[in-house]
Amino acid sequence: MHAPMMLGGLVMLGLSGVAWAQESPTVTSTAPRPKAVEVRIGVVLASNTSKDFDPRLVAFRQQFNTLFPYSSYRLVKEARQQVPWGGRIGFDIPGGRYLMVIPKGFRNDRVTMKVVLIEGTRPIVDTALSLKNHGTLLVGGPRGADGVLILSIGADKLE
Amino acid sequence: MTCREAAILLSRFVDGELDSRQMRAVALHSACCGVCETEVRQLERIQQLLSDSVNATLDTVDFGDFWQRVERRMVTTRVSPWQRVLVWWSQVDRGWAIRIPAYATAAAVAVTAAMYGVRFLEPYASTVPTAIADLSTQALIHKLEADVEAVTVINDADTTVLWVSDELSGAGE
């Protein structure tokens, strides 16, 4: 079969499946979208007001001490959420900020995602990236009370 | 944002194609508007069904002998050595006797310049911190837009950091 014909056939098959699904009330009322990825979000307040290190952040101790010039790290907020590909996670960050994570797909052991950090109505960071499965991205710099905020964003593909 | 304004953007919202301001506006609107939220969920459902349908069909297609079938259709033509010589002679440029010395001189100048360039650039290259701008370690940044003074990308051995530098950030706290 020629490639254009094959592609056309696939598209037609896909569209017919969609049409069938829309006509069938039983499909729309059951089978929620399968969760594909678990997104981990943490908000850490880093400062030099003390030397306390939150024990919940022990996995980050080495990275924090290597990368950032702060003596105290405290986890102030944490969330985990399972979402399908294309789903969205909205997360309120202290200081009137809002973090949106949209996992888009999985390829070469990497989770492709869009990350948007908004402060008020101003988008501070708008990025598209691919993160190693089970990896973590840190977004730091927004000011918090007596320090700066470091956001940890991780993704674990669900089997 | 009104439902009418949101309705125009919902499809691109589901595809994640809106810019961040529009995305936030639609997200906030749909969070408190049942009609638009239902519309978003239906669009997500359609997107998922389409994706599942195409993927399921692709799984059933056997590409195992694809290249064998392509190779069978490829035609190999035998060309004798004498024919190759004739073709080469018909295509050869007779101006080579003039151009070769010019090309050789240009090449020598280019190589000399490159060697000097490398020697001059080496000290400057070594001062660039290796932890910055190496995007291959963990997170691969495909697109980065920011409405701040600067965003620095730092790659540790295990972690990628986007460091936001902005005097205005958190000024209201």
* Residue A155 or B24, more confident: A155
Using DSSP, state whether A63 is helix, strand or coil: helix
Average pLDDT of chain A to the nearest whole number: 81
Residue A114 identity:
K
Backbone region of residue A144 per phi and psi (left: phi > 0; alpha: psi in -120 to 50; beta: other values): beta
**How much is the average pLDDT of A121-149?**
87
By the 10 Å C-beta count (0-12 exposed, 13-18 middle, 19+ buried), B139 is classed as: buried
Q: Residues B137-153: pLDDT tens digits?
A: 478 888 888 877 788 88
Q: Residues A7-48: pLDDT tens digits?
A: 555 555 554 544 444 444 444 444 566 678 999 999 999 999
Angle at B17 between CA B158 and CA A113, to 5 degrees: 15
pLDDT at B94: 62
pTM of the model: 0.53
A contact residues 98-157, partner B, Cβ 8 Å cutoff: 98, 100, 102, 104, 110, 112, 114, 116-119, 121-132, 135-145
pLDDT at B55: 75
A14 touches chain B (CB under 8 A): yes
- Cα distances (angstroms) measured from residue A134 to each of A114, A155, B140: 16, 5, 14
Residue A7 identity:
L
ipTM for the predicted complex comes to 0.74
Q: How close, in Å, is residue B23 to chain A by CA atoms?
A: 9
CA nearest to B14 within chain A: A86
Residue B26 and residue B1 in contact, taking contact as beta carbons nearer than 8 Å? yes
**How much is the average pLDDT of A97-116?**
90
The span from the CA of B53 to the CA of B46, in Å, is: 10
pLDDT band at A112 (very low <50, low <70, confident <90, very high): very high
pLDDT band at B111 (very low <50, low <70, confident <90, very high): confident
Lowest mean pLDDT among B38-47, B53-62, B88-97: B88-97
pLDDT at B101: 73
**How much is the average pLDDT of B4-10?**
87
| Closest CB to B142 among A18, A119, A130 | A130
pLDDT band at A6 (very low <50, low <70, confident <90, very high): low
pLDDT at A33: 62
B contact residues 131-170, partner A, Cβ 8 Å cutoff: 138-148, 151, 154, 156, 158-166, 169-170
Average pLDDT of chain B to the nearest whole number: 73
Burial letters B35-69, b for 16+ CB under 10 A, else e:
ebeebbeebbbbbbbbebbbeebeeeeeeeeeeee
Q: Give the start-to-end residue ranges of the domains of chain A.
A: 1-30, 37-157
Lowest mean pLDDT among A11-25, A128-142, B80-94, B145-159: A11-25
Say how far residue A19 (Cα) sits from the centre of its chain: 31
Residue A78 has pLDDT above 80, yes or no: yes
| Closest CB to B24 among A66, A118, A139 | A118
Q: Which of A76, A86, A70, A75 has its CA nearest to residue A35?
A: A86
* Residue A8 or B47, more confident: B47
* Residue B149 or A69, more confident: A69
The span from the CA of A115 to the CA of B11, in Å, is: 19
| Residues A67, B158: C-beta atoms closer than 8 Å | no
Q: Residues A145-154: pLDDT tens digits?
A: 788 999 999 9
A36 touches chain B (CB under 8 A): no
B14 touches chain A (CB under 8 A): yes
Using DSSP, state whether B170 is helix, strand or coil: coil
By the 10 Å C-beta count (0-12 exposed, 13-18 middle, 19+ buried), B72 is classed as: exposed
